[in-house]
């Protein structure tokens, strides 16, 4: 019998699906990904060095190494760390004439990865909050505004922000019916030579914030793991419809939403102020000819509302463009034109809908 | 035109469609400029066709997928004058292989039929040229003869790649699909003109269920500077081939993936960052949208364990003079180097986990440091404690 030891994995996280370990990866010293057989906290393994990693709620992947020794339980703890990792990983300098490939290890980060410019200097950013609708400004730090949902809001909250000479309208991921605090932050960030405005769900909304951070970092499948396992969030959408809508979007991206059709029905009907639920339901109904008329009504209604998530705006516009023949062409075309007038100005990389308001508006 | 290799649909395999358009017959600079073509206000390109040919050549020469080997490769190219097409592809292009609307219709139909032959098939689509990004989910890519006088609508000579993707997203075709759209995107005020127009080529099919994996990468740089290096390849093509050369390879898995491979998640994580970095170095901006049905899948496999360029240095500077390192590969117990002291240590090593034992003299303390070397390689700085 080969010798073995035990690896004990502890995940410190406020997000239950993450804490349960379903996102944990264990690789042996050949970097082979091991099948844990559903046991994510304590595993018997052959002797040797192992790499244990997990994507945590801040959207970063954390990694620890453990030496498994005979008859010994080796503990590994993974948690969000505020300080820089001990090992410094250099980002490459990408020259203008090809790449000296000494390694590219992008760090996952809460916002989209910032690319360091070789020679550009930071632009000065003049940012001003012009209007808020459906939310209340709580406070402001140097480059961030914090908002809370306004009571009895009947539509997606928005903030109009001026950045230098341009104005941006951004949807705010808050909800007045959320039990407890529903807040968010809007950050002005410089990404290379580009200034962007992003809205982030409050970290206090553990599951929703984790999903958004993972989505923003490109960990789609991990975000889906949180969505699929955040049963309370999904079933209790009344406590966090924004989080539920984000979970629905993530499950749509990974092809899992069709299993929750009745839940999506409720999301669309009970929160009609949130058009994203309608879009999710349209995506499920469109393939059924008997439901097409209802799907069109939902699609047209959603097209007239302020969408919360960029991807749902994109999804709806695409569905309308490819709507099956035989439906009300004029209604579809009107809906397309209404949305299409904004789409060239959208920031497609922003998770929450954000677009530049053209000067003529 | 047909497949560049003998097509085989008797068994599951990979079927690929590659389209690259640099030369636009009816746009400004083309040999038959029309008034409709002028309205597009777009220039000829210099890198799209070459980029498509580079990807096609990679498929021919390097693509490896044991469960679904390459069974057909359809390539349509419209290169600009003096644009260099990959020499492996040139002799295979026969008859009219230009990326006209009619040719694309023919090849697309045949490609879709080939993909429908087995659910275990893998479908790969790569389209590059002038485009209008309409949404996160897709773009209209203009074909060689867009703007022709006999076209009934302005976008008749364009392909709605998102629409084609949607038409192929169903359970009765290749269940693993990879879509790459590399578009030279237009400025918002130009794009606005196209937003509500119809007429681009796209099969109209609506399905109840999706394919298992149908991931869609849309690279869109605004303006030519963000799109490609002049007379070379596009930035997205450069990033993609960098990734496929081994730079994003991940280790084997217990679930049956026995080889090092390029996975969906590896492409998702690394491709956008690489494209951004390349564009930024050109003083431009390019984004990569990732949509479609995202599911873990293998895009490409490697026969051997990849090697990585490793560089290990110590911090602080004073520690280097009094520290010696011994590096061991854990999987094989192979001693890589012993008592090394000429920091930094640099070598090409097999991917895997290693242990660096640092023997340091006072005031510094010795330590053992586990290290993970994965493609594309890394620079590591080890803090030597005092």
Query: Quick count: other Cβ atoms within 10 Å of Cβ A180?
Result: 9
The pLDDT score that the predictor gives to residue B322 is 96
Q: For residue A181, name the pLDDT band (cuts at 50, 70, 90).
A: low
pTM, rounded to two decimals: 0.89
The pLDDT score that the predictor gives to residue B205 is 61
pLDDT of residue A256 exceeding 50: yes
Chain position carrying tokens 């516009």:
A317
Q: What is the mean pLDDT of residues A301-324?
A: 92
* A151: exposed, middle or buried (Cβ count in 10 Å: 0-12, 13-18, 19+): exposed
Q: For residue A121, name the pLDDT band (cuts at 50, 70, 90).
A: very low
Q: What is the mean pLDDT of residues B62-88?
A: 96
Q: For residue A235, name the pLDDT band (cuts at 50, 70, 90).
A: low
CB B247 within 8 A of CB B376: yes
The pLDDT score that the predictor gives to residue A123 is 52
Q: What is the mean pLDDT of residues A95-108?
A: 27
Q: What is the mean pLDDT of residues B257-286?
A: 89
The pLDDT score that the predictor gives to residue A196 is 84
Q: For residue A97, name the pLDDT band (cuts at 50, 70, 90).
A: very low
Report chain B residues whose CB lies below 8 A from the CB of A344. 188-189, 191-192, 195
Q: Do A311 and B255 lie within an 8 Å CB cutoff?
A: no
> What ipTM did this prediction achieve?
0.89
Q: What is the mean pLDDT of residues A114-143?
A: 69
Q: Do B270 and A106 lie within an 8 Å CB cutoff?
A: yes
Largest CA-CA distance found in chain A, in angstroms, rounded: 77
Separation CA B378–CA A2 (nearest Å): 34
Inter-chain Cβ pairs, chain A and chain B, closer than 8 A: 213
Q: For residue B365, name the pLDDT band (cuts at 50, 70, 90).
A: very high
Report chain A residues whose CB lies below 8 A from the CB of B289. 348-349
Share of chain A above pLDDT 90, in %: 50
pLDDT of residue A176 exceeding 90: no
Q: What is the mean pLDDT of residues A306-310?
A: 96
The pLDDT score that the predictor gives to residue A2 is 73
Q: For residue A100, name the pLDDT band (cuts at 50, 70, 90).
A: very low
Q: Could you say which of B274, B329, B382 has the minimum Cβ distance to residue A104?
A: B274
The pLDDT score that the predictor gives to residue A103 is 29
DSSP code per residue over A10-40:
EEE-SSHHHHTTTT-EEE-TT-PBPP-TT--
Q: What is the mean pLDDT of residues B207-229?
A: 74
Higher-scoring residue by pLDDT: A50, A260:
A50
The pLDDT score that the predictor gives to residue B206 is 59
Enumerate the β-bridge partners of residue A129. A161
The pLDDT score that the predictor gives to residue A114 is 25
pLDDT of residue A75 exceeding 60: yes
Report chain A residues whose CB lies below 8 A from the CB of B281. 94-96, 118
Helices and strands: H and E segment counts in chain A: 10, 17
Enumerate the β-bridge partners of residue B289. B218
pLDDT of residue A98 exceeding 60: no
Please give the mean pLDDT across all residues of chain B: 90
Q: Do B136 and A34 lie within an 8 Å CB cutoff?
A: no
The three state secondary structure string of B125-156 is EEEEEEEEEEECCEEEEECCCCCCCCCCCCCC
The pLDDT score that the predictor gives to residue A177 is 67
Q: What is the mean pLDDT of residues A322-329?
A: 80
The pLDDT score that the predictor gives to residue A360 is 55
Q: What is the mean pLDDT of residues A87-98?
A: 32
Please give the mean pLDDT across all residues of chain A: 82
B209: its two tokens: 């269920």
Separation CA A239–CA A253 (nearest Å): 23
Q: Could you say which of B162, B265, B270 has the minimum Cβ distance to residue A318?
A: B162
CB B335 within 8 A of CB B269: no
pLDDT of residue B355 exceeding 60: yes
Q: What is the mean pLDDT of residues A21-39?
A: 89
* B185: exposed, middle or buried (Cβ count in 10 Å: 0-12, 13-18, 19+): buried
Q: How far is A254 from chain B (nearest CA, A)?
A: 5
Q: Do B269 and A34 lie within an 8 Å CB cutoff?
A: no
Q: Do A318 and B134 lie within an 8 Å CB cutoff?
A: yes
Residues of chain B by 3-state class (helix, strand, coil), percent to 5: 25, 35, 40
Higher-scoring residue by pLDDT: A262, A51:
A51
pLDDT of residue A95 exceeding 50: no
Higher-scoring residue by pLDDT: A333, B12:
B12
What DSSP designation does B250 have? Answer: B
**Cis amide prior to B143 (ω within 30 degrees):** no
The pLDDT score that the predictor gives to residue A101 is 27
Q: Do B280 and A115 lie within an 8 Å CB cutoff?
A: yes
Residue of B nearest to A351 (CA): B136
Chain position carrying tokens 């004058």:
B81
- Which phi and psi (to 5°) does residue B135 adopt? -150, 180
The pLDDT score that the predictor gives to residue B228 is 80
Report chain A residues whose CB lies below 8 A from the CB of B272. 218
Q: pLDDT per residue over B30-62, tens digit each?
A: 999 999 888 888 889 999 999 999 999 999 999
| Helical pair A220-229 and A241-253, crossing angle rounded to 10 deg | 130
**A249-288 burial by CB neighbour count: b if 16+ within 10 A, else e?**
bbbbbbbbbeebeebbebbbeebbbbbbbbbbbbbbbbbe
pLDDT of residue A193 exceeding 80: no
What is the sign of the dihedral through the CA atoms of B286, B292, B297 and B300? negative
Report chain B residues whose CB lies below 8 A from the CB of A27. 251, 353
Residue B153 falls in which region: left (phi positive, over 0), alpha (psi -120 to 50) or beta: beta
Q: pLDDT per residue over A223-234, tens digit each?
A: 999 998 875 665
Q: For residue A259, name the pLDDT band (cuts at 50, 70, 90).
A: confident
CB B7 within 8 A of CB B72: yes
Q: pLDDT per residue over B220-243, tens digit each?
A: 766 655 578 777 899 999 999 999
pLDDT of residue B191 exceeding 70: no
Q: Could you say which of B196, B281, B351 has the minimum Cβ distance to residue A31?
A: B351
pLDDT of residue A118 exceeding 50: no
Q: What is the mean pLDDT of residues B88-112?
A: 94
């Amino acid at each position: 019998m080969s010798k073995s030891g035990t690896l004990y994995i502890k995940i410190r996280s406020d997000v239950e699906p993450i804490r349960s370990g379903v996102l944990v990866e264990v690789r042996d010293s050949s970097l082979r990904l091991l099948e844990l057989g559903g046991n994510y906290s304590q595993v018997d393994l052959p002797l040797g060095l192992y790499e244990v990693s997990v994507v945590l709620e801040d959207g970063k992947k954390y990694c620890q190494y453990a030496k498994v020794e005979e008859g010994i339980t080796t503990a590994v703890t993974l948690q969000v760390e505020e300080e820089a990792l001990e090992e410094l990983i250099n980002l490459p300098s990408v020259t203008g004439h090809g790449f000296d490939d000494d390694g590219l290890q992008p760090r996952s980060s809460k916002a989209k990865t910032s690319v360091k410019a070789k020679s550009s200097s930071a632009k000065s950013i003049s940012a001003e909050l012009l209007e808020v609708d459906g939310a209340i400004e709580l406070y402001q730090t140097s480059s961030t505004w914090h908002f809370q949902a306004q009571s009895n809001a009947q539509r997606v909250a928005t903030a109009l922000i001026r950045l230098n000479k341009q104005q941006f309208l951004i949807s705010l991921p808050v909800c007045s019916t959320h039990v407890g605090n529903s807040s968010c932050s809007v950050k002005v960030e410089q990404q290379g030579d580009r200034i962007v405005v992003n809205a982030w769900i409050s970290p206090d909304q553990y599951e929703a914030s984790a999903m958004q951070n993972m989505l923003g970092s490109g960990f789609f499948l991990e975000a889906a793991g949180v969505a699929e396992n955040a049963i309370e969030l999904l079933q209790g959408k009344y406590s966090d419809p924004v989080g539920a809508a984000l979970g629905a979007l993530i499950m749509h991206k990974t092809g899992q939403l069709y299993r929750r059709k009745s839940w999506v029905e409720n999301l669309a009907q009970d929160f009609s102020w949130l058009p994203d639920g309608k879009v999710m339901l349209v995506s499920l109904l469109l393939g059924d000819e008997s439901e097409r008329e209802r799907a069109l009504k939902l699609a047209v209604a959603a097209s007239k509302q302020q969408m919360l998530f960029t991807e749902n705006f994109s999804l709806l516009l695409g569905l309308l463009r490819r709507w099956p023949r035989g439906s009300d062409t004029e209604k579809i075309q009107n809906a397309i034109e209404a949305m299409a007038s904004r789409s060239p100005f959208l920031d497609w990389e922003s998770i929450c809908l954000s677009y530049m308001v053209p000067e003529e508006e | 035109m047909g497949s560049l290799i003998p097509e085989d649909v008797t068994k599951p395999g990979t079927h690929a469609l590659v389209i690259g358009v640099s030369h636009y017959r009816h746009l400004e600079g083309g040999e038959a400029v029309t008034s409709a073509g002028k309205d597009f206000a777009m220039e000829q390109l210099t890198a799209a066709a070459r980029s498509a040919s580079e990807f096609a050549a990679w498929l021919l020469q390097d693509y490896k997928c044991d469960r679904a080997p390459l069974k057909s490769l359809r390539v349509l190219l419209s290169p600009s004058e003096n644009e260099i097409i990959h020499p492996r592809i040139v002799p295979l292009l026969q008859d009219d292989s230009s990326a006209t609307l009619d040719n694309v219709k023919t090849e697309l139909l045949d490609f879709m039929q080939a993909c429908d032959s087995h659910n275990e098939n893998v479908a790969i689509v790569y389209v590059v040229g002038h485009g209008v990004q309409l949404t996160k989910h897709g773009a209209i890519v203009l074909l060689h003869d867009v703007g022709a006088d006999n076209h009934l609508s302005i976008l008749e000579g364009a392909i709605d790649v998102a629409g084609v993707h949607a038409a192929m997203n169903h359970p009765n075709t290749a269940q693993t699909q990879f879509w790459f759209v590399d578009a030279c995107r237009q400025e918002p005020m130009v794009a606005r003109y196209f937003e509500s127009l119809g007429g681009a080529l796209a099969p109209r099919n609506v399905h109840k269920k999706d394919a298992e994996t149908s991931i869609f990468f849309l690279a869109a740089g605004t303006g030519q500077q963000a799109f490609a290096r002049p007379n070379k390849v596009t930035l997205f093509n450069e990033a993609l081939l960098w990734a496929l050369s081994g730079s994003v390879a991940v280790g084997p898995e217990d679930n049956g993936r026995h080889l090092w491979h390029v996975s969906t998640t590896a492409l998702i994580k690394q491709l956008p960052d690489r494209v951004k970095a390349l564009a930024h170095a050109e003083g431009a901006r390019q984004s990569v949208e990732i949509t479609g049905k995202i599911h873990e899948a293998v895009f490409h496999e490697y026969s051997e364990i990849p090697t990585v360029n490793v560089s290990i240095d110590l911090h602080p500077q004073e520690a280097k003079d009094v520290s010696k390192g011994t590096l061991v590969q854990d999987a094989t117990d192979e001693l890589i180097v012993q008592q090394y002291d000429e920091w930094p240590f640099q070598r090409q090593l097999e991917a895997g986990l290693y242990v660096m034992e640092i023997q340091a003299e006072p005031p510094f303390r010795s330590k053992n440091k586990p290290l993970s070397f994965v493609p594309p390689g890394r620079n590591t700085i080890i803090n030597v404690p005092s």
